[in-house]
Amino acid sequence: MSDLRDRVRGPLAPSTAAQRPLSIDDVEIHGGPFGRWQRINREASIPLGLQQMEKSGATPNLRLAAGEGEGTFQGYRFQDSDLYKQLEAVAWEHCRRPDGDDAAAYRAFVAESAALLARAQRPDGYLNSHYQVVKPDKIFAELEHSHEMYCAGHLFQAAVATARAGLGDGLLEVARRFADLLVRRFLTGGDDGIDGHAEVETALVELYRLTGERTYLELACKLIDNRGRGLIARTGLGPLYAQDHLPVREAPTAVGHAVRQLYLEAGVVDVAVETGDADLLASSVRRWEDLVATKTAITGGHGSRHDGEAFGERYELPPDRSYNESCAAIAAIHWNWRLLLATGSGRYADLIERTLHNAFAASTSADGVRFFYVNPLQRRADLFEDAYLGRRREWFACACCPPNIMRLVSSLGHYVATTDDEGVSVHQYAPGVIRAGGITLDVETEYPWDGSVRLTVRSAPGGAWTLRMRVPAWSGSARLTPGWGEPYPAVPGADGYAAIRREWRAGDTVTLDLDLTPRLVVPHRGIDALRGCAAVERGPIVYCFEQIDQDSPLEDLALLPGAGLRPVERDLPGIGRTVIVEADAVRLPPAPPQGLPYTTVSDAAPATGPATAVAVPYYQWDNRDGGVMRVWMPLAQPSRR
Amino acid sequence: MSDLRDRVRGPLAPSTAAQRPLSIDDVEIHGGPFGRWQRINREASIPLGLQQMEKSGATPNLRLAAGEGEGTFQGYRFQDSDLYKQLEAVAWEHCRRPDGDDAAAYRAFVAESAALLARAQRPDGYLNSHYQVVKPDKIFAELEHSHEMYCAGHLFQAAVATARAGLGDGLLEVARRFADLLVRRFLTGGDDGIDGHAEVETALVELYRLTGERTYLELACKLIDNRGRGLIARTGLGPLYAQDHLPVREAPTAVGHAVRQLYLEAGVVDVAVETGDADLLASSVRRWEDLVATKTAITGGHGSRHDGEAFGERYELPPDRSYNESCAAIAAIHWNWRLLLATGSGRYADLIERTLHNAFAASTSADGVRFFYVNPLQRRADLFEDAYLGRRREWFACACCPPNIMRLVSSLGHYVATTDDEGVSVHQYAPGVIRAGGITLDVETEYPWDGSVRLTVRSAPGGAWTLRMRVPAWSGSARLTPGWGEPYPAVPGADGYAAIRREWRAGDTVTLDLDLTPRLVVPHRGIDALRGCAAVERGPIVYCFEQIDQDSPLEDLALLPGAGLRPVERDLPGIGRTVIVEADAVRLPPAPPQGLPYTTVSDAAPATGPATAVAVPYYQWDNRDGGVMRVWMPLAQPSRR
């Protein structure tokens, strides 16, 4: 074991970084949405996931591979990865509350799983129940769609998590045996294969960070450099689908299967950081800038197409058919977190916040036992082809998302704050406690419902240090009120943070007041699918309009360009605490139902009477009747029928 | 052979109809776009198609089935259908010009194909090279995706065509043997199977019309009534994909794979007409009204999704990702033609016109040797994932479209005019000659470039009869000028036709002047993807804007709600004769390239200087440099950046 091992108890522990991550158990979250999600995750989601490990075939498949079970292989070739993500979720949950009621059960689940995996693993280190049971003659022979290294990556992440969480090294031993096999075959053995689904790259780097075994890093480097050489056989979905169309350093834009690209980017940043490869890092940053400017939904969601679960072209961002896979939101958070640590720039924390509170948060029902795989921004009336969309489900045949959601929620504390040689940076606002070295901060806030965040220094080392507080780009104005002086404008630096450097003493307080005035937001004119529409945001929350809250058919309502937006606190059945926004609107005139849906401009009728449209946070949708929903509302215009 | 056989030399010969079709050789087309398409079809497309029959595997596969060839099966399981459609194209071309230069070659192709098919056919009548060669144990065992009856349907249509075109009965004998097998198995044999891809239904009815064999009609009835009973096993694409979700009589809206639904509707109308089933006909009309009002592109295209080549939901009509398969345009024309004959209503002829001049015409390059499979209404800049879209190709692995296009072009004369007990109805305007019973009409026109259509009676039987001329719904005003009197407004009846009843004499003329003033058209407000946009139409032609014709980047141009639209006649390289439209436009201000593509309303910048945007007919796009293209242009609005 290297000495890197114990630095951080959390998913990411880079050996060098502009901002250093904290351990999950160094951050307590006491309430707010994050606190609620963590409670529901522990009480409802994780127990459901643990049940599903047996029911969905994940553990039975591994018993087959171990020569123990009866029956046939169930599910997809990447079914093992569900178990790995579930193990990781349990590990971080244990790390967060090691003395919780479930500690013994978690320990047993990890130990039993590690033992099963060790029995299923071949003597050479290979481990994949699908290939061992169903296609032993095809091992490593169809990498373009086999997901063998993808599953290995999730195994490595689970192993890192259980080791860092103090749940024993059983899983780590299994992981290292498999990683060593991959090194023998794909690094020193000269095989140039790459997996059609990126994931193992980031996982190998973390396994290197944990163990100090440099060949894992070297293999990750090689796998990244091998992309774009046409090594993946042309599948029906083509080389773009798996980011094999161009070398990573040259690829100007995110393409193909969104989750593949985003996991790949996490690995790219990891490799760049560990090898000091500034060019490689710069290529990822270029794609980030392009992606955010042209292919990112307002919720932070990624992937505009059902077809290939793909990004689509620049500015192709349809609200109805957007895919926005829950796993893509998670993968994007992984990537942004790595960029934030590497650069210290708040724009990545801004996007993490947007993604967490919207694209990601929407993936789970308020009660934690139903999930979205696809997260559209619109649900129409009278659905036929899309009847299955827009309603969460308990589980999926392809269940990549639910355990992925669970592992992120249980590790949420990891993403709240960081430290560096100058002091502490707070990136995400939630009530609780932050411990960074000798510094302890209390955070009191009703965020995101209220914009006031009060930080109290509970303990501090001697000497001056800097407290950096992110001022989100959406906050039109912000104010800082120190306990020792007058309020003043919180003007962020180029990095997006307001900083106070002083010799802090225990008891010092500073309050950051962010501007939560609701905002009417319009899309870039390049986004054809959203032309003539506006959305409502308040703080980090993107809103949506559900039919259940309206007096008129939602499809007959339009907002006004200068619409008044009034936030109102509510406790809604099925949703709980929330802030709705009432928006000034108009009722559109009836649209003729017959004939071709195209008419000359002169036939268009103007809007009619005033109305009020009611918006709820997007992430809270589909917790009531599951009817019509829109994030993007038409803006009333003259000459529109 | 029944006495129905010789009634009509064309694709459709109903035994009862409000309007009776004419034979292909009763209508001569002497110029205009239809004439150009027919010339190019004969000179370039059909020769290419005939070459492809060998190259693409269609005839080699059948030789394998006949035990003659060497090698392995090539292509898709429905590869035989390419040959059948090619045979039909040749048959109608022969019917149109039986003494053309290619007559001998056409006869030989038909005779050789019929002989090959006869040798490949099993003694029991079964014929499908894929199943005979690759999967003999799966014959009729996987109907949900086998395309066995789909291919049979195209065989029957080819057999009907060659028989009606006077090219011998060899193909018809093969077809009847297969049809008799289907009857034995699926009608009298009690098997309740249905094909996952509708097509055989309409073909069986036509085979019945040709031969008088009533069991073919009865089988078509049964196949239609069997839909919606869950007989198709649930494939990955689900029962909606193949219209097996609801009984045909109950289905309220077109769903699933567009070509499947549209071929099915052709069969539904055929069965309803032949059995006098008014309820069944009414169900098809209801779906037509719903489809036209909510799921039809401005070009007449159908199918909004790449995913499943499916319709999508009501008002889901994206311009960029619309599928609008060329085969769907053809199938829609088939369906509309049947409804027109059944009801006499001009709304079906209106949609045929829109589809022919736009969705269908776009499918083929100006030189006739490249084809679109997918017909989007927008091609963006800097494509990655869609790089293959928006450029026509010579052929396709799945080549359903090219020979389908050819068979429609060679039979175009069939769709121009009809007769009934009252007289003659002209549905589509093209220069040429129409012969209907004892009546002969000359048609002189530069349509669609000019709106004037002059009809001259060359011969007429004694007594009064009615000349009906369609007044398209797009024509704001129209005028009739009889040779014997003063001009007067051409006010159509409820059926959409202006009618003149009189005792016509040879030499009588009447001129119909349609209003070709260019129109700025806006979408129904339910179509989210087109909000804030307008398109240009002139006469039956939908226009598009290609980058090559603009002074500014196309993406920076917006039309004005009251835009002046000026038609200008041109002869463009690569396109030939056309009428462009110059539209008053504005240049939009630069859009910030960085950061999230969403901004608050107050940040939006107004439009800047005036400009001119140049439009060409949509069907003529991609005949030059294949750059950026839009049918739907943004309308300039205040507070849009």
Structural contact between residues B182 and B131, judged by C-beta atoms closer than 8 angstroms: no
Count of A-B CB contacts under 8 Å: 207
Please tell me the predicted confidence (pLDDT) of residue A146: 95
Give residue A1's pLDDT band: very low, low, confident or very high (50, 70, 90).
very low
- The closest CB to that of A293, out of B305, B588, B593, belongs to B593
Q: Give catalytic status of residue B274 as yes or no.
A: no
Q: Which of residues 152-211 of A touch B (CB under 8 A)?
A: none
- B309 has catalytic annotation: yes
How many angstroms separate the CA atoms of A90 and A52, rounded? 14
Has residue B407 got a pLDDT over 50?
A: yes
Residue B637 has pLDDT above 80, yes or no: no
B388 band by pLDDT with thresholds 50, 70 and 90: confident
- What is each CA distance from A578 to A359, A570, B89, B207, in whole angstroms? 17, 5, 65, 65
**Is the predicted pLDDT of residue A5 greater than 60, yes or no?**
no
User: B314-331 pLDDT, tens per residue?
Assistant: 999 999 999 999 999 999
- pLDDT for the residue numbered A230: 87
| Domain residue extents for chain B | 20-415, 418-514, 519-634
- Those residues whose C-beta lies under 8 Å from the C-beta of residue A266, and which sit 6 or more positions away, are A201, A202, A331, A334, A335, A338
Question: How confident is the model over A237-291, as pLDDT tens digits?
Answer: 788 999 999 999 999 999 999 999 999 999 999 999 999 999 999 999 999 999 9
- Chain A within 8 Å of B382 (Cβ-Cβ)? yes
Tens digit of each residue's pLDDT (9 = 90 or more) over A337-386: 999 999 999 999 999 999 999 999 999 999 999 999 999 999 998 898 88
**What is the band of B2 on the pLDDT scale with cuts at 50, 70, 90?**
very low
pLDDT, average across residues B402-422: 97
Q: Which pLDDT tens digit goes with each residue over B117-160? A: 999 999 999 999 999 999 999 999 999 999 999 999 999 999 99
Rounded to the nearest angstrom, the minimum Cα separation between B461 and chain A is 38
Query: Which of A294, A311, A378 is opposite residue B597, by nearest beta carbon?
Result: A294
Marked catalytic residue, from B309, B325, B546, B582: B309
* Residue A314 contacts B where some CB pair is shorter than 8 Å: yes
Instruction: Give the model's pLDDT for residue A623.
Output: 95
DSSP state letters, B323-390: ---HHHHHHHHHHHHHHHHHH--HHHHHHHHHIIIIIIGGGB-TTSS-B-SS--SEE-SS-STTTTTT
Contacts of B561 in chain A (CB under 8 A): 601, 638-639
* Residue B388: partners with Cβ closer than 8 Å, 6 or more residues away: none
Q: Which among B383, B529, B598 has the least Cβ separation from residue A318?
A: B529
Give, to the nearest 10 degrees, the angle between helix B258-275 and helix B278-294: 150
Q: State whether residue A528 sits within 8 Å of chain B by CB.
A: yes
**Mean pLDDT (chain A, rounded):** 94
The complex scores an ipTM of: 0.93
pLDDT at B3 exceeding the cut of 50: no
- Residue A278 burial (CB count, 10 A): 9
**Residue B532, SS3 per DSSP:** coil
State residue A572's pLDDT score.
94
Answer yes or no: is pLDDT of A234 > 80. Answer: no
Question: Distance (Å, rounded) from C-alpha B251 to C-alpha B244?
Answer: 10
Residue of B529, B595, B639 lying closest to A293 (CB–CB): B595
Alpha-carbon gap: A77 to the closest alpha carbon of chain B (Å): 17
Q: What is the pLDDT of residues B250-282, one digit of tens each?
A: 999 999 999 999 999 999 999 999 999 999 999
Q: Do A601 and B562 touch (CB under 8 A)?
A: yes
Distance of CA B241 to the CA centre of its chain: 21
In the predicted model, what is the mean pLDDT of residues A586-606? Answer: 76
Do B534 and A639 count as a contact with CB atoms less than 8 A apart? no
Decide if A46 contacts A89 (C-beta within 8 A): yes
Q: Is the pLDDT of residue A61 over 70?
A: yes
Q: pLDDT digits over A139-166, tens only?
A: 999 999 999 999 999 999 999 999 999 9
Report yes or no: A293 at the B interface, CB cutoff 8 Å: yes
Q: Determine whether the interchain pair A640/B595 forms a contact, defined as Cβ–Cβ distance below 8 Å.
A: no
Question: Is 90 exceeded by the pLDDT of residue A584?
Answer: yes
Confidence category of residue A235, pLDDT binned at 50, 70, 90 = low
Which sign, positive or negative, has the C-alpha torsion B602, B604, B605, B611? Answer: negative
Chain B's closest residue to A525, CA to CA, is B641
Asked if residue B556 has pLDDT above 60, the reply is yes
Mutate to test the interface with A, among B234, B292, B385, B630 (most CBs of A within 10 A): B385
Higher pLDDT, B591 or B17: B17
Q: Could you tell me the fold of the domain covering B20-415?
A: Glycosyltransferase (1.50.10)
pLDDT in tens, B445-467: 999 999 999 999 999 988 999 99
**Mean pLDDT, residues A284-300 taken together:** 97
pLDDT beyond 60 at B641: no
pLDDT at B602: 63
In chain B, what residues touch A240 (CB-CB under 8 Å)?
A: 384-385
> Which amino acid, residue B566?
R
CB-based contact (8 Å) between A637 and chain B? yes
Find the mean pLDDT for residues A111-119: 98
Residue A49 makes CB contacts below 8 A (sequence gap 6+) with: A86, A89, A402, A403, A406
Section A537-563 average pLDDT: 95
A236 touches chain B (CB under 8 A): no
Neighbours of A279 (CB within 10 A): 8
Kindly state the percentage of chain A with pLDDT values over 90: 88
What is the model's pLDDT at position A602? 63
Residues constituting chain A = 641
Closest among B514, B505, B509 to B444, alpha carbons compared: B509
CA distance B145 to chain A (A): 18
Record: contact A521-B312, CB cut-off 8 A: no
Tell me how close the Cα of A35 comes to any Cα of chain B, in angstroms: 28
The whole-number average pLDDT for the span B70-82 is 96
The residue from A400, A401, A533, A544 that is catalytic is: A400
Determine the distance in angstroms separating the CA of A534 from the nearest CA of chain B, rounded to an integer.
Answer: 8
Query: B5 pLDDT exceeds 60?
Result: no
Residues A596-600 have a mean pLDDT of 85
The predicted-structure confidence for B194-237, as pLDDT tens digits, reads as follows: 999 999 999 999 999 999 999 999 999 999 999 999 888 766 67
Task: Determine contact: B533 vs chain A, CB below 8 A.
Answer: yes
Q: Which of A42-46, A228-232, A252-256, A521-525 has the lowest mean pLDDT?
A: A228-232
Q: How far is A325 from chain B (nearest CA, A)?
A: 16
CATH class of B418-514: mainly beta
Instruction: Identify the CATH class of A421-514.
Output: mainly beta
The stretch B64-90 carries a mean pLDDT of: 96
Share of chain B above pLDDT 70, in %: 96
Hey, is the C-beta of B246 within 8 angstroms of any chain A C-beta? no
Closest residue on chain A to B526 (Cα) = A555
Q: Residue A336 has which token pair?
A: 């942004």
| pLDDT grade for B6, boundaries at 50, 70 and 90 | low
HEC string of B128-187 equals CHHHHHCCHHHCCCCHHHHCHHHHHHHHHHHHHHHHHCCCCCHHHHHHHHHHHHHHHHHH
